[in-house]
């Protein structure tokens, strides 16, 4: 595998000049830059990203933390975001949590180890640990703090709209099937559905499933 030293020898330029060009950390004349690029292509040189991360304090990678690829929603999400990250010239470090706080903590340690430049966290549950991450974060679905950008649907309003649709169809007694209490989106949708029913004077029974949103998961239902 070719090294910076090999490029310097082939071009007749100093190692520091080659390093400045590769790391975009200083001036390199157009003529030298052209020659360096020719030799890089000739030697099939691939920069050491770990070394660059230490030198530049940037890894050129972004972390993507999701519950699982088993869930079709998150599988599609990971594909779309991963492709966009790569199209932007970054690498993607993918980690899974299965909505387990311990696995999420391990995923965050993984991102720190890779020195990622930023992270996209889907359905985060270690809110205090996420606040401490010294990197830009975008949270998906879970509000971590006012300082962290969150992307989420208005799940409360979605729950109300679902009720209103059924009510307009003439339904007068409804059964609301909801997911686990620990998910913020689930709770907001459920609250919207039930409060819309209460406002309309319609009885809404609730069937809660204490399970994860994973295919093949066993259901433990409690009628409430």
CA distance 84 to 44: 25
Neighbours of 196 (CB within 10 A): 22
pTM of the model: 0.64
Domain membership of residue 220 (yes or no) is no
Q: Give the rounded distance of the alpha carbon of 194 from its chain centre.
A: 31
Residue 221's pLDDT is what? Answer: 42
Residue 142 near residue 86, CB atoms below 8 Å: no
For helices 15-23 and 4-11, the axis angle rounded to 10 degrees is 120
| Domain limit, last residue, from 128, 151, 174 | 151
Residue 194 lies in a domain: yes
Q: Is 80 exceeded by the pLDDT of residue 46?
A: no
User: Which three-class secondary structure string do you get for 64-103?
Assistant: EEECCCCCHHHHHHHHHHHHHHHHCCCEEEEEECCCCHHH
Give the mean model confidence (pLDDT) for residues 128-152: 83
Which residue, among 133, 86, 79, has the nearest Cα to 105 in the 3D structure? 133
Task: Compute the average pLDDT of residues 205-224.
Answer: 60
What would the pLDDT profile of 77-104 be if each residue is shown by its tens digit? 999 999 999 888 888 999 999 888 899 9
> What are the tokens at 110?
């993984």
Check whether residue 180 and residue 143 sit in a common domain. no
Which is nearest to 143 in space by CA: 133, 134, 154? 154
Domain CATH for 9: 1.10.260.40
Percent of the chain with pLDDT over 90: 39
The larger pLDDT score, comparing residue 56 to residue 21, is at 21
Provide the domain limits for residue 136.
61-151
The conformation of residue 217, written as its DSSP 8-state character, comes to P
Tell me: do 10 and 44 sit in the same domain. Answer: yes
The structural domain count of the chain equals: 3
Q: Residue 76 burial by CB count (10 A; 0-12/13-18/19+): exposed, middle or buried?
A: exposed
Query: SS3 for 223?
Result: strand
């Amino acid at each position: 595998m070719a090294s910076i030293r090999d490029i310097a020898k082939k071009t007749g330029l100093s190692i520091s000049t080659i390093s400045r060009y590769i790391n975009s950390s200083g001036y390199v004349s157009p003529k030298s830059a052209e020659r360096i690029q020719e030799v890089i292509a000739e030697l099939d040189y691939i920069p050491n990203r770990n070394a660059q991360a230490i030198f530049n304090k940037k890894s050129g990678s972004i972390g993507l933390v999701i519950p699982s690829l088993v869930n079709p929603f998150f599988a599609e999400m990971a594909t779309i975001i991963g492709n966009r990250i790569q199209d932007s010239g970054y690498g993607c470090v993918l980690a899974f949590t299965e909505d387990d706080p311990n696995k999420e903590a391990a995923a965050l340690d993984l991102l720190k180890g890779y020195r990622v430049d930023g992270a996209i966290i889907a359905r985060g549950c270690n809110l205090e640990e996420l606040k401490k991450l010294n990197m830009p974060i975008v949270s998906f679905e879970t509000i971590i703090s006012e300082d962290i950008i969150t992307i989420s649907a208005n799940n409360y309003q979605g729950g109300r709209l679902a009720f209103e649709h059924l009510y307009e169809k003439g339904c007068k007694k409804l059964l609301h099937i909801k997911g686990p209490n620990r998910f913020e989106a689930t709770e907001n949708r459920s609250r919207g559905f039930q409060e819309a029913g209460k406002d309309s004077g319609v009885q809404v029974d609730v069937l809660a499933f204490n399970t994860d949103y994973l295919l093949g998961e066993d259901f433990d239902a409690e009628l409430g």
